[in-house]
């Protein structure tokens, strides 16, 4: 933005000197000196394309604008173009550059930075109005002729553009920029410009302004240089605020990273604790299972012992019953034998 702004500033001067040249106020050599300054600023812009941060479409606008200089200058050098058309050619180039600043303001997330960029555009618009005012009035004074109503209204509009933009209520300026604004408004040079403007208004229908074009150009350029310092000061403030925002964003990112790391660590510790508790629970369950298994085994062994004893008792009972049965049989045999012997004795007695 800074390098493009420098191109705009020097192009505004080239536009003013072009008006002087086309109206016989300066020689071509003086105009070429200013062109050389603009060319140096253009080279700086081209060299910064790779790190500019602009999109390809925006770089395309810049490149197209830079290509317009050669054809416009060629017509001016040959004096094959009228002053008004030449000035419009420069104005078109400048406005395309300034539009990029407005577009940039819309893409910035920070409301504060966006307001500063918008303020920069407002200041640049005011300065651009001043540049066009310089070019047109310098040419009028150099030609020293009456102007049309249309031209008269255009001059009024340009002067109002300077006055309105520099005191716009929407401007967000730091103290040093406010001080420079006061210096500009109260400067001797701007006071002379205001007086020359009054003379122009009074004599616009007849000419004979009794003011040289180059003299007016030098005076208003001195005043606009103060305005330019205001713009540069505001840009420096904007850069400072952007860097501050970047530092804050970096600190915020670092703090967020630390918090995220701590949260992650806490989650990991919690998970490990859960795993540990789960492991202990599983071990306890396994221990209880082993105990139950042992108790079950003991009960099983006891049951086997009881079953064995019962079997032994059953076998003993069976054996005793068998022995008793044999005894009973023996008694029955003895009883039978006694009965037979008694029967034999009875028969013998008879």
pLDDT tens digits, 85-106: 999 999 998 888 877 766 665 6
The pLDDT value recorded for residue 44 is 85
Measured from the Cβ of residue 132, the count of other Cβ atoms closer than 10 Å reads 26
Please give the distance of CA 57 from its chain centroid, rounded to a whole number. 20
What are the φ/ψ torsions at residue 108 (nearest 5 degrees)?
A: -90, 130
List the single range of 60-69, 259-268, 328-337 with lowest mean pLDDT. Answer: 328-337
User: Does 76 have pLDDT greater than 90?
Assistant: yes
Eight-state DSSP code of residue 210: -
How do residues 36-56 score in pLDDT, each as one tens digit? 999 998 888 888 766 556 677
R_g of the chain, CA atoms, integer Å? 56
pLDDT digit string, tens, across residues 189-240: 999 999 999 999 999 999 999 999 999 999 999 999 999 999 989 988 988 8
pLDDT at 299 (0 to 100): 47
Task: Note the residue count of the chain.
Answer: 350
State the pLDDT at residue 65.
79
Residues 294, 300, 304, 307: what is their CA dihedral angle, to the nearest 10 degrees? 150
Gap between the Cα atoms of 236 and 238, Å rounded:
5
Higher pLDDT, 112 or 287: 112
Give the separation between CA 148 and CA 207, rounded to whole angstroms.
11
| pLDDT band at 9; cut points 50, 70, 90 | confident
Name the least confident of 8-17, 24-33, 54-63, 333-342.
Answer: 333-342
Pick from 319, 130, 320: which is nearest to 122 by CA?
Answer: 130
Task: Tell me if 208 sits within 8 A of 144, measured CB to CB.
Answer: yes
Is the pLDDT score of 309 beyond 70?
no
């Amino acid at each position: 933005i800074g390098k493009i702004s420098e191109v705009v500033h020097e192009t505004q001067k080239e536009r003013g000197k072009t008006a002087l040249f086309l109206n016989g106020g300066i020689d071509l050599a003086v105009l070429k000196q200013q062109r050389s300054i603009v060319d140096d600023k253009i080279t700086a812009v081209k060299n910064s394309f790779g790190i500019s941060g602009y999109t390809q479409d925006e770089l395309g606008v810049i490149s197209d604008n830079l290509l317009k200089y050669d054809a416009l200058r060629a017509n001016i050098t040959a004096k094959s173009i009228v002053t008004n058309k030449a000035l419009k050619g420069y104005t078109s180039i400048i406005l395309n550059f300034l539009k990029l600043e407005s577009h940039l303001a819309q893409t910035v997330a920070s409301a504060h930075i966006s307001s500063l960029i918008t303020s920069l555009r407002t200041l640049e618009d005011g300065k651009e109005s001043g540049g066009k005012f310089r070019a047109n009035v310098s040419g009028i004074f150099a030609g020293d002729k009456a102007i049309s109503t249309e031209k008269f209204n255009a001059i009024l509009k340009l002067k109002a553009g300077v006055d309105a933009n520099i005191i716009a209520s929407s401007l967000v300026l730091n103290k040093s920029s406010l001080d420079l604004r006061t210096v500009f408004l109260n400067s001797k040079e701007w006071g002379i410009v205001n007086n020359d403007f009054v003379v122009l208004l009074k004599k616009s229908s007849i000419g004979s302004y009794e003011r040289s074009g180059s003299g007016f150009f030098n005076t208003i350029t001195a005043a606009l240089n103060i305005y330019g310092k205001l713009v540069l000061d505001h840009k420096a403030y904007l850069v400072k605020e952007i860097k501050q925002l970047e530092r804050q964003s970096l600190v915020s990112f670092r703090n967020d990273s630390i918090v995220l790391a701590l949260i992650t660590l806490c989650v990991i510790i919690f998970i490990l604790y859960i795993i540990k508790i789960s492991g202990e629970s599983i071990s306890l369950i396994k221990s209880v299972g082993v105990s139950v298994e042992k108790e079950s085994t003991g009960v099983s062994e006891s049951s086997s012992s009881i079953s064995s004893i019962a079997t032994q008792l059953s076998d003993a009972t069976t054996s005793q019953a068998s022995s008793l049965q044999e005894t009973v049989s023996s008694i029955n045999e003895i009883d039978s034998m006694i009965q037979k012997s008694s029967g034999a004795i009875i028969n013998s007695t008879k």
